[in-house]
Chains A and B, each alone.
Chain A
Amino acid sequence: MSTNFLQTAGLTARYGDAQALFGIDFHIATGETVAIIGANGAGKSTFLKAITGLVKVAPGALTIDGKPWGGRSPGDIVRQGIALVPEGRRLFPSLTVEENLKMGAYAGRPGPWSLARLYTLFPILEEKRKVPATSLSGGQQQMVAIGRALMSNPRLLLCDEISLGLAPIVIKEIYDALPAIAAEGMSVAVVEQDVMVAQRVSRRLYCFQEGRVSLEGASDGFSREQISQAYFGIQT
């Protein structure tokens, strides 16, 4: 049985003036794919920001390899092998596709991912490597955003709403690439609003509601009623 290499215990976080997370217990094992679902404002994105150091948390609230890593800088976290594909992609507009990907490798973590390997996974990016990243289509931009995160050779890839604003066929294409990406034992956590997609790609899922975990367990072990109860917090 693989161990939980990353864990949060009673993680609380503030976003601006308001408290956004009220004690999140979360864990992910090496090679595991986990989904986090929940309505808008449930705290999913804040949770990913808390893990990656963009939102400050208490030292003991986040442990990586059993050691406390809460409150460290985003740079420290990425060097530990945690990479985020941010919501809305947030590519660097004044950098080309290839420069965006190279920025992903800034932390200098060794590992299997390189420009050449990424171009094999997403051949269209090699074709477009010299053009400004934000001139690409939405789906291609998402590939750049995922590729940029992979260039840091993460042990855990955090994907924040990577299907947002994309056509269903493109969403399928991107999610179909996930197993190949995770094949070498990389863990993946996807934040999704689309429950069906989330259930399909993950082994376990967490449902967030107003900053708390309202449901947790095997992705295929829940009825539709259980999920909508946890999602919206009302009986249907």
Chain B
Amino acid sequence: MTETIVQGLLLGGLYCLFSLGLSLMFGVMRLTNIAQGDLIVAGGFAAISIAPLVGGHFVVAGLVLLPLAFAVGYGLQRLVLNRTLGKDPLPSLVVTFGLSIVIQNLLLEVYSASPRSLEAGALSTGSIQLGEELFVGTLPLLILGVALAATLGLQLLFSLTPLGRAFRAVSDDREVAELMGVRSANVYAIATALATALIALAGLFQSLRTTVSPADGPLLLLFAFESVIIGGMGSFWGTFVGAMVLGVSQQVGFRFDPGWGVWFGHLVFLAVLIVRPNGLFPKTKG
């Protein structure tokens, strides 16, 4: 049982990285990014393409990929998504849905439908002994550590820095924030840039841990969604805990039957929705 839970928490680390970007974009501009999953897959493929160009090591590939993703996210928000924002959430949903279809088909065109993965070297087979009969993989442990650091980092950014203050202010009242001199178009673009960098990081780890294929996006979006909603919209620690709950639920499901994993996760998600419709840690508002 301990092993199932530990494996679930490690899986939760990956899901946390899947969902932080979604949580961030929703928190700052009430924008639900339907293309989240496909962007993760695109990030994975981008890492696979970059790695051979920089000597094959995934860390170097990541160092190239993250600033690139940041720039792509900034441009995406400035040129496309800022035009969809308003009182009505429908335009942004439709546009990101369209973006999702475009990305899937572009990936299919460029990389074909077969699953690909990125070589992690010794890291993929390495493990660390935690108990007498408990071994955990080095890579999953690294992913969980990165997820924890990313969550903590976002939380600190939001609560302690002027940029974080501006994020919260535009989220509360965009018009008044602009009265203070905040350029919300720019603040939104920075939020999406950060989210896209996190998405690319998630894609990199996904391609290291398993495989990516162009059709994976919708399922990854679903996992991200479930994590965010279990945790409660707009709270990063909530998203972290939500991802852990989802990861553990899926592992417990796998224990019963290999086909039950994802399904069991959905069940727990529905159960949380029934018991706590606002998630485990809803954002408290005055």
CB within 8 Å of B: which residues of A?
A: 52, 54, 73-75, 78-79, 83-84, 86, 90, 92-95, 99, 102-104, 106-108, 132-135, 148, 152
User: Does B181 lie within 8 Å of A75, measured CB to CB?
Assistant: yes
B94 on interface, CB distance cutoff 8 Å: no
Residues A102 and B162 in contact, CB atoms below 8 Å apart? yes
Nearest chain B CB to A69 CB, angstrom units: 15
Given the known interface contacts A92-B172, A135-B286, the answer about A79 and B162 at a Cβ–Cβ threshold of 8 Å is: no
Q: With the chains together, A137 CA to B77 CA distance in Å?
A: 38
Complex Cα distance, B32 from A228, in Å, reads 52
For the complex of A and B, list the 10 residue pairs with the smallest distance between their C-beta atoms, beginning with the closest. A107-B181, A134-B286, A93-B286, A75-B181, A92-B172, A74-B178, A106-B180, A132-B286, A78-B181, A90-B176
Q: Who on chain A is nearest to B173 by CB?
A: A90
The answer to whether B285 touches A103, judged by C-beta atoms less than 8 angstroms apart, is no
Q: In the complex, which residues of chain B have a beta carbon less than 8 angstroms from the beta carbon of A99?
A: 165, 168
Residue on A with the closest CB to B283?
A94
Interface residues of B (CB under 8 A from A): 162, 165-166, 168-169, 171-173, 175-183, 283, 285-286
A84 to chain B, nearest CB (A): 6
Q: B270 CB to closest chain A CB, in angstroms?
A: 29
Q: Are A74 and B181 in contact (CB under 8 A)?
A: yes
Given contact pairs A94-B168, A106-B166, A78 touches B180 in the complex (Cβ within 8 A): yes
Residues of B within 8 A of A75 (CB): 178, 181-183
Can you give 24 contacting A-B residue pairs, CB < 8 Å? A52-B179, A54-B179, A74-B175, A74-B179, A75-B181, A78-B179, A78-B180, A78-B181, A90-B176, A92-B176, A92-B177, A93-B172, A94-B168, A94-B283, A94-B286, A95-B168, A95-B172, A102-B165, A103-B169, A103-B180, A104-B180, A106-B182, A148-B180, A152-B180
Which B residues are CB-close (under 8 A) to A52? 179
A86 lies within 8 A of B169 (CB): no
Tell me the number of A-to-B contacts counted with CB atoms below 8 Å. 70
Distance from B244 Cβ to chain A, minimum over Cβ atoms (Å): 25
| Nearest A residue to B286, CB-CB | A134
Residues of A within 8 A of B162 (CB): 102, 106
Q: Which residues of B contact A84 (CB under 8 A)?
A: 179
Query: Is the pair B178, A92 in contact by a Cβ cutoff of 8 Å?
Result: no
Chain A residues contacting B166 (CB-CB under 8 Å) are: 103, 106
Chain A contacts for B168, CB-based, 8 A: 92, 94-95, 99
Cβ distance A37 to chain B, nearest Cβ, rounded Å:
23
With A86-B179, A106-B181 already in contact, 20 other A-B pairs whose C-beta atoms are closer than 8 Å: A52-B179, A54-B175, A54-B178, A54-B179, A74-B178, A74-B181, A75-B178, A75-B181, A75-B182, A78-B180, A93-B286, A94-B172, A94-B286, A102-B162, A103-B180, A107-B180, A107-B181, A133-B286, A135-B286, A152-B180
| B181 contact set on A, CB distance < 8 A | 74-75, 78-79, 106-108, 152
Closest A residue to B165 using CB positions: A99
Residues of chain B contacted by A92 (CB below 8 angstroms): 168-169, 172-173, 176-177
Tell me, rounded to whole Å, the shortest Cβ–Cβ distance linking B189 to chain A.
Answer: 15
Contacts of B177 in A (CB 8 A): 92, 103
Query: Complex Cα distance A86/B175, Å?
Result: 10
What residues on B are CB-neighbors of A148 within 8 Å? Answer: 180
A108 to B181 Cα, complex, angstroms: 9
Whether A94 and B285, one on each chain, are in contact in the complex, defined by CB atoms closer than 8 angstroms, is: yes
Contacts of B175 in A (CB 8 A): 54, 74, 90
Q: Which residues of A contact B286 (CB under 8 A)?
A: 93-94, 132-135
* Nearest chain B CB to A180 CB, angstrom units: 23
Give the chain B neighbours of A78 by CB distance below 8 A: 179-181
CA distance A108 to B177 in the complex (A): 14
Q: Which of A79, A99, A103, A108 has the most CB of B within 10 A?
A: A103
- With A54-B175, A106-B181 as contacts: A93 and B169 at CB distance below 8 Å: no
**How far, in angstroms, from A107 to B177 measured CA to CA in the complex?**
10
User: Inside 8 A of B172's CB, which chain A residues have their CB?
Assistant: 92-95
How many whole Å from A95's CB to the nearest CB in chain B?
6
Q: Are A73 and B176 in contact (CB under 8 A)?
A: no
Given contacts A90-B173, A134-B286, A135-B286, is CB(A95)–CB(B165) below 8 Å?
Answer: yes
Which chain B residues lie closer than 8 Å to A107 at the CB level? Answer: 180-181
A residues within 8 A CB of B169? 92, 95, 103
Residues from chain A with a CB closer than 8 A to the CB of B171 are 94
